[in-house]
Structure 1
Amino acid sequence: MRARGGTRSIQTGCRCLCGPSRKRGADLVGQVRVLGNAGLDFTLQVSRLPERGETLLGRGIGRAPGGKGLNQAVAAARARAGVIFHSAIGKDAQGEEITAALRAEGLAGLLLHHMPNPSDFSLLMVLPDGENSIVTSGSCAAALSVDQAEVFARDCQADDVVILQGNLTQASTLAALAAATASSALTIFNPAPLWWEVGPLLPMCDIVIANRGEAEAMTGLSQPAEAAAALCRIGASTAIVTLGAGGCLSSDCNGTIREYPAPKVHAIDTTGCGDTFCGVFAAGLAMSLGQDDAINLAQSAAALTAQRRGAFTALPSRQELADLIGA
């Protein structure tokens, strides 16, 4: 294995992000390539989650482009990374709305596969403390084929950062990871939503990013540090477990645990914070920042998202991210 921009150390069977970081705001090294879902988000503010069989009144309905793949691609692009985004949408008015929003973001490359399915959407229920529960449809994302996933990864370069999530099928995600790994690109896997076995994919992941609940679901371990270490034992080179207001922690293949406190803010809505973190973290790595600087940058960006309502509408602006990068 080779060292990448001073951030990836040479380890037997391991590609941990170790070593010194470069000055924040350095020239871009590679592109961020995102393969994932794109849809529409419908948001409701609720006093609590409904009971079984209950109809509950919500308020403050919101509508915006969304999907983990879309949000992560936009966050990375606004953090000045050159972003290539591939996704699947329906041949409908919702698909046209999603396309227009993405074209306005100035991505370096955009390929949207038009499926015979309705465009995907998510219902986000936001509680008074800012926490959220999400129900999502995924027929378009699930229809993205292995061949289309391989097309996405075909032009990956060794300095690129590739991000995938759990919305696609296991077969398509596996195909993209395998092709990206063969190109020596740095791979990031954010496995939410968990709807198939992720273990076979972890050996192809340089970095796995999961929240506390997802890490426990994948490992059976409730302690985040233990879960992160277990993800590395299963195959990931580095595991990052996000903890909301508690920041995040990481484990590498040597068993080293690092803790990162989050900025203290008054959270209004945590929807989209994880996507902001993933996208900005990937952009930081594409700038050849070390792990510590990339995580701190990503947490500062996620803190901005937490102070606003929505997901796409709460993503930091280009100027806000430029200020963070230059800080």
Structure 2
Amino acid sequence: MGRVIVLGNAGLDISLSVQRLPDLGETLLGHDVRRAPGGKGLNQAVTAARAGAEVLFRAPLGRDAQGSEIASVIAAEACLMFHPHHFAHPTDFSLLMVLPDGENSIVSAGPCAAAFRIEAAGAFAAKAESGDVFVMQGNLRADSTQQAMEIASRRGATTVFNPAPLWWDAKSLLPFCDIVVTNRGEAASITGMSDPTEGSSALCTLGAKVSIITLGADGCVVHQEGKTRHFAADPVEAVDTTGCGDTFCGVLAALLAQGQTLDDAIIRAQTAAAITATRRGAFAALPSRSELLA
């Protein structure tokens, strides 16, 4: 059984519920303010560990109270070894605005993620071995991300890339991706194709071996070896979709590292993501270890 190796970000999530998104120049009142550790890298690493994988996780943190708070939360997770890289910057954070139907919009600030250099990324990726699943997102710099993906791929790990947020061109990384996971909007931004079936094929044409486009309540579309398939989602009453993609990626990576087939891993990852959609918040909504192992 391989390990899940996650290189990404960790930060503080501040979420509030709003009736709608503000217009330009407008101030709205929000409610139900929540504060929790977060970041796509952290969420995916924690979920993978709760799904039963041995996880190595590295993320940049500030030397501040928020960084210490995040590190202490991660330390409480079983099977998760955290390797922080400290900077003299404020710890990264995200502001999440959650609409009544559960959909959300997110604004992130990542001074630590932006400062994480190519040398540190490459050194951590060199820990990957054949049988491991190496996971990255879009929070770090493009050059650091590509360096790590290239090294992990050369070392024989299965590489999983979740290119969110999209703040640089992800196309050049796709040839180093065994699996790329995007949502509908991210796929359209990368490929220029709004139709998920066409988009999933285009992601593979650009270099990925397998592309997965998550579609929320509509499940996901998977393209592999010239064929496109649709996987239905578990029907639930969603209250907040924040963190669903991270849950999906974390569980997918964990099950692949444990030797599950891609199809089985996708089915179970969608079930886990559906659990997250029924709860408010991101970190607080991640399924527990007992729920995932069940």
Q: Which residue of 2 aligns with 1:215?
A: 187
Query: Are 1:292 and 2:263 matched, yes or no?
Result: yes
Aligned equivalents of 1:295, 1:62: Cα separation in 2: 30
2:134 partner letter: V
Deviations 1:205-250 (A, max 9, x none): 0000000000000000010010000000010000000000000010
Aligned equivalents of 1:88, 1:179: Cα separation in 2: 19
Aligned equivalents of 1:181, 1:125: Cα separation in 2: 36
Residue 33 of structure 2 aligns to a residue in which SS?
strand
1:109 Cα shift? 2.1
1:269 Cα shift? 0.3
Q: Which residue of 1 aligns with 2:126?
A: 154
Name stretches of at least 5 consecutive residues in structure 2 with no aligned partner. Answer: none
Residue 105 of structure 1 aligns to a residue in which SS?
coil
Instruction: Give the TM-score normalised by structure 1.
Output: 0.89
Please point out which of 236, 239, 242 is paired with 1:265: 236
Q: Which residue of 1 aligns with 2:216?
A: 244
How many residue pairs align between the two structures?
294
1:154 partner letter: A
Aligned equivalents of 1:82, 1:52: Cα separation in 2: 46
Identical-pair percentage: 57
Name stretches of at least 5 consecutive residues in structure 1 with no aligned partner. Answer: 1-28
Aligned equivalents of 1:303, 1:106: Cα separation in 2: 23
Match runs of 1:1-327 below 5 Å: 29-252=1-224, 254-323=225-294
1:314 partner letter: A
Aligned equivalents of 2:79, 2:105: Cα separation in 1: 29
1:197 Cα shift? 1.0
Contact 2:74-2:80 at 8 Å conserved across structures: no
1:151 Cα shift? 1.5
2:292 partner letter: L
Deviations 1:182-206 (A, max 9, x none): 1010000000000111111110000
2:93 partner letter: F
Instruction: Give the TM-score normalised by structure 2.
Output: 0.99
RMSD: 0.6
Residue 77 of structure 1 aligns to a residue in which SS?
helix
1:104 Cα shift? 0.6
